[in-house]
Amino acid sequence: MSFMPVILWTDALIFALLVVVLALVWFIRRHEHLRAPWKHVAQRPMAMGAALVLGVFVVIGLLDSLHYRERLADSPADAPQYSVEVLSVFDALVSGLRTRQEKTYSAPLAMQLYAKEFIQRDGETVRDHPRLKYGGAHLTHADERGPDITRRTLVGLAQGLAVSLLLFGLLAAWQARRTQVQMGAWLEAWATGALGWPGRTVVLVLTLMLLLAGVLAQLASGYHVFGTDKVGQDVLYISLKSIRTGLVIGTLTTLVTLPLAIGFGIAAGYFRGWIDDVIQYIYTVLNSIPGVLLIAAMILIVQVAIESHPELFDTAAARADIRLLALCLIMGVTSWTGLARLLRGESLKLRTLDYVEAARAFGVSHTRIISRHIFPNVFHLVLIAIVLDFSGLVLAEAVLSYVGVGVDPSMYSWGNMINGARLELAREPVVWWQLGAAFVFMFTLVLAANLFADGVRDAFDPRLGGRR
């Protein structure tokens, strides 16, 4: 085998989460009353557009979670040795971006280095910006850069448009067949927005993403689209790699929160009495400690633990991964209190309802009452909390990395990008691209998540009655 699969802790959890989500989707599809609110979500243009963008992020994150280590070329076949560098399927897909490393900073789409160096030119030594090794290396003269960029942009747009037209044609054909109408009739329904689902928005968002992907792919094959960072690595590559970190923090943290919040919240509200007192005491204590400080204190401790046991981690990636997992755990432990309080209040109300009292009178066990009557009735609150928390967690990662208690400094994350680029703003000319790229990517993910969360909340909140 020329590679060895590596399953990091977060990879395993991410795929476990994926399985759970798929099982949940399958379960919901089979139950009409569970499907109804999702139909409302699917009818909202904003929510569907956002879901598509989120989907792209998720696919990149999943591809980036399939890790492996390459076999060293000179190692013997019977006792293979593997590189210490942990790569992912995503790395393999964009290997061009990963390997084309420059010396240091260079501006977006530049063909020269940011820093001046002594270089040989026409037999004499001059101090100037040297040419990049890869960025614009196919050009012979600086004058060709403008036309070349324009040409590549147009080609990229054309390719994106071609693919989206093809997809649109397939979609129209499939949908027309499924609903058994003429293609023309379907197109007319699509154009007037009479499909029953936001077809126009979906097609528009997909087309925009494909156009963007086309342009990026065309430009990235010859240039560094977002420039390079301090050690000369392509900023586009770093930004894309950071997607996984953001997603892991946004989802796994919630995964930690859920059992704590659901268990404690429902138990406190349902059983009342001393259980309620103890649980309330626990969450008041946790809540009263300022969140950042608690996270900082716990991360410092984890750091000490990791540093005193270097033998447990065979690669740097495994060590960074444990720290990421620890961060998720810690953020989960410090952030379950809000949801628990909400669930407690709701369970307090539910336990006095007639059908719960009736169940108790029949001698139904507590576990059965909770799982059959209480939990299904608070589940919408849990779901709303999951989607609402996600964007906050992604933003929190950047702040925590700035404080120095975020993910491992060697890990690709938007927080680390911002942190590294912040000090370079004082330079002349300004190194803005690293910061800009991190903010743009983070903004896109968080905005999509927020818009989707709004759609979900509006559909599930019983006070709005699934409309508005």
Among residues 82 and 441, whose Cβ is nearest to another protein?
Answer: 441
CB of 430 to another protein, least distance (A): 8
Among residues 213 and 302, whose Cβ is nearest to another protein?
Answer: 302
SS3 128: strand
Among 27, 174, 281, 355, the residue binding another protein under the rule CB under 8 A is 281
CB of 398 to another protein, least distance (A): 5
Token readout for 445 is 């993910």
Among 81, 99, 179, 284, the residue binding another protein under the rule CB under 8 A is 284
Contact 102, 135 (CB under 8 A): yes
Q: How many of the chain's residues bind another protein (CB under 8 A)? A: 43
CB of 188 to another protein, least distance (A): 27
Helix or strand run (H / E) with residue 83: strand 82-88
Computed on alpha carbons and rounded to an integer, the radius of gyration of the chain in Å comes to 26
Residues constituting the chain: 468
CB of 298 to another protein, least distance (A): 7
CB of 52 to another protein, least distance (A): 17
CB of 308 to another protein, least distance (A): 7
Among residues 240 and 442, whose Cβ is nearest to another protein?
Answer: 442
Name the H helices within 64-140.
89-93, 95-99
SS3 3: strand
How many whole angstroms separate alpha carbon 125 and alpha carbon 103? Answer: 19
Task: State the angle between helix axes of 433-460 and 375-403 in degrees (0 to 180), rounded to the nearest 10.
Answer: 170
Residues 286-305 that bind another protein (CB under 8 A): 286-290, 292-294, 296-298, 300-301, 303-305
Give strand ranges (E) for 327-435.
none
Among residues 46 and 172, whose Cβ is nearest to another protein?
Answer: 46
Among 12, 165, 170, 285, the residue binding another protein under the rule CB under 8 A is 285
CB of 108 to another protein, least distance (A): 18
Helix or strand run (H / E) with residue 88: strand 82-88
How many whole angstroms separate alpha carbon 437 and alpha carbon 97? Answer: 15
| Interface mask toward another protein for 360-399; x: CB under 8 A | -------------------------------x---x--xx
Q: State the amino acid at position 193 in one-letter form.
A: G
What are the phi and psi torsion angles at 249 (to 5°)? -65, -40
How many whole angstroms separate alpha carbon 61 and alpha carbon 20? Answer: 17
Tokens 């923090």 belong to 249
Q: What is the DSSP letter of 327?
A: H
CB of 225 to another protein, least distance (A): 20
454 binds another protein (CB under 8 A): yes
Task: State the angle between helix axes of 235-271 and 337-350 in degrees (0 to 180), rounded to the nearest 10.
Answer: 30
| Interface mask toward another protein for 304-323; x: CB under 8 A | xx-xx---------------
59 binds another protein (CB under 8 A): no
| Interface mask toward another protein for 425-444; x: CB under 8 A | x----x----x---x--xx-
405 binds another protein (CB under 8 A): yes
Tokens 């909202």 belong to 44
CB of 152 to another protein, least distance (A): 29
Residues 97-156 that bind another protein (CB under 8 A): none
Among residues 222 and 420, whose Cβ is nearest to another protein?
Answer: 420
CB of 400 to another protein, least distance (A): 10
Among residues 32 and 307, whose Cβ is nearest to another protein?
Answer: 307
Cβ neighbours for 322, distance < 8 A, ≥ 6 positions apart: 9, 306, 313
Name the H helices within 231-315.
235-271, 273-288, 291-308
| Strand-pair category, 82-88 with 117-121 | unpaired
CB of 454 to another protein, least distance (A): 7
CB of 243 to another protein, least distance (A): 15
Among residues 259 and 290, whose Cβ is nearest to another protein?
Answer: 290
Among residues 13 and 330, whose Cβ is nearest to another protein?
Answer: 330
Write b or e for each residue in 355-391: b if 16 or more Cβ atoms lie within 10 A of its Cβ, otherwise e. Answer: ebeebeeeeeeeeebbeebbbebbebbbbbbbbbbbb
How many whole angstroms separate alpha carbon 192 and alpha carbon 200? Answer: 9
SS3 222: coil
Among residues 184 and 290, whose Cβ is nearest to another protein?
Answer: 290
Interface ranges with another protein (CB under 8 A):
281-282, 284-290, 292-294, 296-298, 300-301, 303-305, 307-308, 391, 395, 398-399, 402-405, 418, 422, 425, 430, 435, 439, 442-443, 446-447, 450-451, 454
